[in-house]
Amino acid sequence: QNCKSFYRCDDFVVNDTKLGLVQKVREHLQNLENSAFTADRHRKRKLLENSTLNSKLLKVNGSTTAICATGLRNLGNTCFMNAILQSLSNIEQFCCYFKELPAVELRNGKTAGRRTYHTRSQGDNNVSLVEEFRKTLCALWQGSQTAFSPESLFYVVWKIMPNFRGYQQQDAHEFMRYLLDHLHLELQGGFNGVSRSAILQENSTLSASNKCCINGASTVVTAIFGGILQNEVNCLICGTESRKFDPFLDLSLDIPSQFRSKRSKNQENGPVCSLRDCLRSFTDLEELDETELYMCHKCKKKQKSTKKFWIQKLPKVLCLHLKRFHWTAYLRNKVDTYVEFPLRGLDMKCYLLEPENSGPESCLYDLAAVVVHHGSGVGSGHYTAYATHEGRWFHFNDSTVTLTDEETVVKAKAYILFYVERQARAGSDKL
């Protein structure tokens, strides 16, 4: 049979047939993996040729360099997942926590310890996102293979996140939020029969603050990515002020309209949009329009008002999402504007509610990873990631990993930026 037709129809098969036909198809696809992977690798390598002439492959024809990063196989438009996983794997505090968790064996008997293609079944609820995420992170920096196939993690994602079933291209930011939210929920309740106390007992090297995060309402997800915004609304009629505190795991920033033109990042004429412009637009005082009238409790009716965001608490890892996709009529268009961003020393002090209470370096952030979308639309194109590890920058393009340089990184049209607090980076060895 033509197995490509099973890929293109995009149907999600929940239960196998009595004759095990779905499993036979998977086995046949597994035999075709190597040839398909070769063609995919050739296509994706074109992106690498445009990045830098001095890029050096970590593994070529079996030879390796001193640092052996591992790529992630593309299982069928899963580059959105691969880019996020590679970025998170290079956030040291976050990655180390999961790598030190005790292993959980999800399969027994003949399949124990073996990589297998899963036959999806509604009755198979014995899955753990935390465990498969842990396994993936452990595999990425072992250096024992050039590429790791995350099909077990992808299977769990399909089970617990129905929005990502099938093989369509997905939004990397949306996937990141779903992933972090589900990791947080699973850690709150323990996972696969392992209680929170057992996890903490096995991880004696964790700092006291992170232990408290798991014992309380929070987890390592919110302990590292969690910040707090203050939303301040003022009625323009009576002057009543309303304040609301909102937790966040990332900040979604608009690219200011004056910069939304298809100009090249190398074009000299006209101003260049910077990350500070996007942050300033997010935190500037804004007058709400007629469609967003504020219900004033003093006036007892909807009134014109102003709104302003302050950051009440900065996270250890500041995740900034640039809103590159916008709905216009029935289409979701991409804003392809280049946004200038710093590799080091992003100062967030001026956006704080109480900057005087912050330490000298607690507001300074250094870039750890950046996700890039190549293409014109959210449902198409390709995702790659840049990340720094032990002082070197790497480009992660699915299965292929190359060394790159800072000059190449800063030219990227960023979609998601991961900044690590300089104070947190200095204390990461305490985890």
Q: In the beta sheet, which residues pair with residue 306?
A: 234, 287
Angle at 328 (CA atoms; ends 325, 333), nearest 5 degrees: 35
**Structure confidence by residue, pLDDT tens digits, 245-302:** 999 999 999 999 888 765 545 555 678 999 999 999 999 999 988 888 889 999 999 9
The CATH number of the structural domain formed by 4-430 is 3.90.70.10
Question: What number is the average pLDDT over the span 384-406?
Answer: 95
Q: What is the spatial distance between Cα 236 and Cα 155, in angstroms, rounded to a whole number?
A: 52
More confident residue, 69 or 203: 69
Mean confidence (pLDDT) of the chain: 78
Q: Is 213 a catalytic residue?
A: no
| Number of other CB atoms surrounding residue 179 within 10 Å | 21
Three-state SS at 283 = helix
Residue 394 backbone dihedrals phi, psi, to 5 degrees: -125, 150
**Position 44 pLDDT exceeds 90:** no
**Structure confidence by residue, pLDDT tens digits, 154-163:** 999 999 998 8
**Residue 218 — very low, low, confident or very high, per pLDDT cuts 50/70/90?**
confident
Q: What is the DSSP letter of 364?
A: E
Question: What number is the average pLDDT over the span 196-208?
Answer: 40
Catalytic residue among 118, 173, 182, 382: 382
Three-state SS at 319 = strand
**Residue 27 — very low, low, confident or very high, per pLDDT cuts 50/70/90?**
low
292: tokens are 């967003």
**Structure confidence by residue, pLDDT tens digits, 327-349:** 776 777 889 999 999 999 999 99
Q: Which residues contact 25 (CB under 8 A, 6 or more apart)?
A: 1, 3, 6
Q: What is the spatial distance between Cα 49 and Cα 334, in angstroms, rounded to a whole number?
A: 24
Catalytic residue among 79, 213, 296, 319: 79
Q: Is 382 a catalytic residue?
A: yes
